[in-house]
Structure 1
């Protein structure tokens, strides 16, 4: 394998960049040199079972492909590929001598705008998580379709993992590896017809392939994917939900399960329900992504001569993968009450704690209404959008989605006023028809509290104001057979009470 010591020394030297300090970022397949306003990336001279970068020609080809894949979606980052040449005075970037290495030149973005950095400082809030899900949905809409068997793509990945894991028994544990392989193949066998059908419907595309927080950045305040997987067209070709699963797994692994659930909900809403049935495959997709992350951690340790550094984390990821491969039965939770009672806040807090990560899908009538109207979340809709027929259409849409998601084996939290007893009966019918347990909460608060809450809203999907609250209260709504929860106090107390009522730890 080619020795890159001279190349690394040159690109690490501030004198090569006009005196600017140089920061080096290492991965298992690349080195990135950050200097001034620019970033310079080279591929490591390595060969793995799934990636061959052993010659300058192969590395050059991969950098060109990386530029091609990313320049359209992240034009503010990607510039060009330059030769690192040998001149009479030594190495030079973009010289006329013999190329000894190839370098991808990029515009450097502020490190604090990387989504990982945003998340680490607590900036990945609910709003940004929703925009993240919508950004990924847009990326997938634009991704070109590919003809491939969805089940075979996963089968090939599992075979590759099996080959690589055979050399990692000391690091990962042989029993853990065997259990993952057995469970993953069993679930794949059950899901194969669904994966083949999704491929036939156009959901296998040339995706990002490496979608996690380190490969997303805020540009003009919006999340932008970059650094798409370029070294293997087969690995870059996948089901769009499998592509998204990497980001969901990454968020959950970093303790951001709530953000993952909100991003998933936004991604699904952008698809207008067309992706809901595919959630049956999400446990398998999440598990495979976790196993790949475990593999890469071990490989990166080896590449950086830090063997054992990430062993515990990698083992934890493989344990998580095994848990994901045995999903619990789905359940339906409904949360109703007058506007301002805190339904959405409580639902958002409880959803991540229900079922597998990233938690239950939170279906909110306000968001379904805006999506059906093709309106931005914060745009106020005309009164006609709240007429009786329009209200029934929104509830029908929401409950239809709930049926599909539950049938796919995924839990659901419904969030709407449910003032009409007929709507509550419809919820019960969904649970009864599908044979899933239903738990229904009714949030109650004093009228002055309800009015104060809706009056304080800014940029929310709900259009309810004080007059709407008064009209709702005039109907004298009651909990009926639903569990009444006092929602007058602080949110954390209400969430605790609601969780206790649902027996959620």
Structure 2
């Protein structure tokens, strides 16, 4: 009887299968304990000294394990494909049977009712992510990974058939699929603003740089790659590197640009707070492969890869067999990956300081806070710093005599010095930071530029504007709700007279945006402008 034609009654339920695989006596070697892990597509049972991996009977469109025959085929594919980069770990495909009494067993005959990939368990302490969390990864380790991957890319197949998968039409199928499959999780794991902005950046990249993709095809950079190259799939022993879990379920995710594979690992290093290793890794890969076009594609593919991880974490969270605690963890991971994808699209990979500036009551603080939330960055406010320096309650407008001291030249200078210091300190450990302040004087902007450039960082000023009636209305409204800012309608003429337009700033360091429309539209427009600016910079770096 063909396995693919078995009736539903012949196959075990997922609950029955899990119960069998979670029982120690089910395994021939009788393990002392079982650790169970699951992804969106697989159940994994760690039963020392082995690991058994079962494919879920799911069909996500891009992945189809819906029939027994397909699961058997892809188990075999997994073994074959992964032996190139991890030859010692993949042992074989193990059938599971149902005996005449109706019990599941690994020892049987006849037709199998399920299949498992059997792997040799790798020593836990050498998994790359674990080493990274213990701060045990050195540049020499990254060099070993670079060497292993470069050898793999030189040996793995290319050719005309595989190269055809590098066209925009084929790549766009993947990105379009991602956006289609995440429509239902907008405002759950990915914000509306992030979704629209990432999609805008992706499609504009195709429109602006079609020749870049054609060059990659012609130069032979489309190969039979790994396809799922992130931290959890690297095992780094002192004398051996095992890179496992190569994609077996869909060739279009494996027949890709080498840059896409490299970007995946670089992105995951960023995600785990190691931008230093990410930069080192991508630079060394470009040098060793002599790939001059790699840098121009990294942000595009990093954004794509982070989006895929966000999608996958969200799919895992939706599985009804995932317990509530794990479900919440997967949702939070998905959110973080989607925010990272947005960062790559709107800002890029290099550390940057975003300065949200402008006259009073233009809505800059509201926009700065929303911008920081979308990017998952910290925001530092001059209004907050000014009051905290004097030990004042930030939401209480002090009496006039205290305000005179609070807004004196001395306190204002100290406020901006601390604001800039806080921003640069945060930037040394993160990809970006938002500063919220008027920055209405040329000398304040010059102080910031000097400090930022001395550290080798980038800076972008976003000047928020609004018409006078709107600003007056907002200042009147401040008297009825809590506001950190102490400026009121009667202060407007004097404060405006002291504001020096940022004429000295280079055009590529300054964006101007009106804040008179609703916040969601304003945010969307701002991120589109940021994406456009980023797209312009990409080809000139």
Band the TM-score falls in, shorter-chain normalisation: 0.5 to 0.7
Q: 1:180 to 1:499 in 2, by over 3 A?
A: closer
State the match for 1:19 in structure 2. 30
Q: What TM-score does the superposition give when structure 1 sets the normalisation length? A: 0.63
Q: Does 1:310 align with 2:330?
A: yes
CA distance in 2, matches of 1:75, 1:81: 15
SS at the partner of 1:325?
A: helix
- 8 Å contact from structure 1 (residues 150, 195) kept in 2: yes
Offset at 1:19? 3.1
- 8 Å contact from structure 1 (residues 134, 266) kept in 2: no
Residue 262 of structure 1 is aligned with which of 280, 305, 318?
Answer: 280
- 8 Å contact from structure 1 (residues 87, 97) kept in 2: no
CA distance in 1, matches of 2:256, 2:42: 23
- 8 Å contact from structure 1 (residues 86, 97) kept in 2: no
Offset at 1:30? 0.6
SS at the partner of 1:202?
A: coil
State the match for 1:6 in structure 2. 16
Offset at 1:310? 3.5
CA distance in 2, matches of 1:99, 1:170: 43
Residue 59 of structure 1 is aligned with which of 67, 71, 79?
Answer: 71
User: Which consecutive unaligned segments of at least 5 residues does structure 2 have?
Assistant: 1-7, 354-449, 459-541
CA distance in 2, matches of 1:144, 1:498: 49
Offset at 1:240? 0.5
Deviation string 1:236-275 (CA, Å, 9 cap, x unpaired) is: 110001011111111100101111112112212211xx31
Offset at 1:327? 4.8
Instruction: Give 1:63-142 correspondences, 5 Å limit.
Output: 63-88=75-100, 90-142=103-155
State the match for 2:57 in structure 1. 45
- 8 Å contact from structure 2 (residues 42, 55) kept in 1: yes
Q: 1:316 to 1:108 in 2, by over 3 A?
A: closer
Offset at 1:229? 0.5
Deviation string 1:395-444 (CA, Å, 9 cap, x unpaired) is: xxxxxxxxxxxxxxxxxxxxxxxxxxxxxxxxxxxxxxxxxxxxxxxxxx
SS at the partner of 1:276?
A: coil
Residue 297 of structure 1 is aligned with which of 296, 299, 313?
Answer: 313
Offset at 1:322? 2.4
Q: Which moved more, 1:92-101 or 1:309-318?
A: 309-318
Residue 320 of structure 1 is aligned with which of 327, 337, 340?
Answer: 340
CA distance in 1, matches of 2:323, 2:278: 33
User: Which consecutive unaligned segments of at least 5 residues does structure 1 have?
Assistant: 329-351, 357-496
SS at the partner of 1:72?
A: coil
- 8 Å contact from structure 2 (residues 233, 244) kept in 1: yes
Instruction: Give 1:189-228 correspondences, 5 Å limit.
Output: 189-228=207-246
CA distance in 2, matches of 1:31, 1:294: 19
Residue 35 of structure 1 is aligned with which of 47, 50, 53?
Answer: 47
- 8 Å contact from structure 2 (residues 197, 345) kept in 1: no
CA distance in 1, matches of 2:194, 2:293: 30
Aligned length in residues: 340
Offset at 1:151? 2.0
SS at the partner of 1:270?
A: helix
- 8 Å contact from structure 2 (residues 286, 294) kept in 1: no
- 8 Å contact from structure 1 (residues 136, 244) kept in 2: no
Q: Does 1:162 align with 2:179?
A: yes
Q: 1:257 to 1:503 in 2, by over 3 A?
A: closer
SS at the partner of 2:209?
A: helix
Q: What TM-score does the superposition give when structure 2 sets the normalisation length? A: 0.59
SS at the partner of 1:25?
A: strand
Q: 1:322 to 1:170 in 2, by over 3 A?
A: closer
Offset at 1:88? 3.0
Q: 1:240 to 1:355 in 2, by over 3 A?
A: farther
Deviation string 1:330-360 (CA, Å, 9 cap, x unpaired) is: xxxxxxxxxxxxxxxxxxxxxx96569xxxx
Offset at 1:173? 2.6
CA distance in 1, matches of 2:275, 2:456: 19
State the match for 1:243 in structure 2. 261
Instruction: Give 1:363-402 correspondences, 5 Å limit.
Output: none
Q: 1:11 to 1:312 in 2, by over 3 A?
A: closer
State the match for 1:378 in structure 2. none
Offset at 1:72? 2.6
SS at the partner of 2:184?
A: coil
Instruction: Give 1:437-452 correspondences, 5 Å limit.
Output: none
Deviation string 1:287-339 (CA, Å, 9 cap, x unpaired) is: 000111111111011122545543344233223222312457xxxxxxxxxxx
Offset at 1:50? 1.2
Q: 1:228 to 1:136 in 2, by over 3 A?
A: same
- 8 Å contact from structure 2 (residues 86, 244) kept in 1: yes
CA distance in 2, matches of 1:49, 1:250: 25
- 8 Å contact from structure 1 (residues 83, 102) kept in 2: yes
- 8 Å contact from structure 1 (residues 40, 104) kept in 2: yes
State the match for 1:234 in structure 2. 252
Deviation string 1:370-417 (CA, Å, 9 cap, x unpaired) is: xxxxxxxxxxxxxxxxxxxxxxxxxxxxxxxxxxxxxxxxxxxxxxxx
SS at the partner of 1:51?
A: coil
- 8 Å contact from structure 1 (residues 290, 321) kept in 2: yes
Deviation string 1:138-162 (CA, Å, 9 cap, x unpaired) is: 2222221113133223211111012
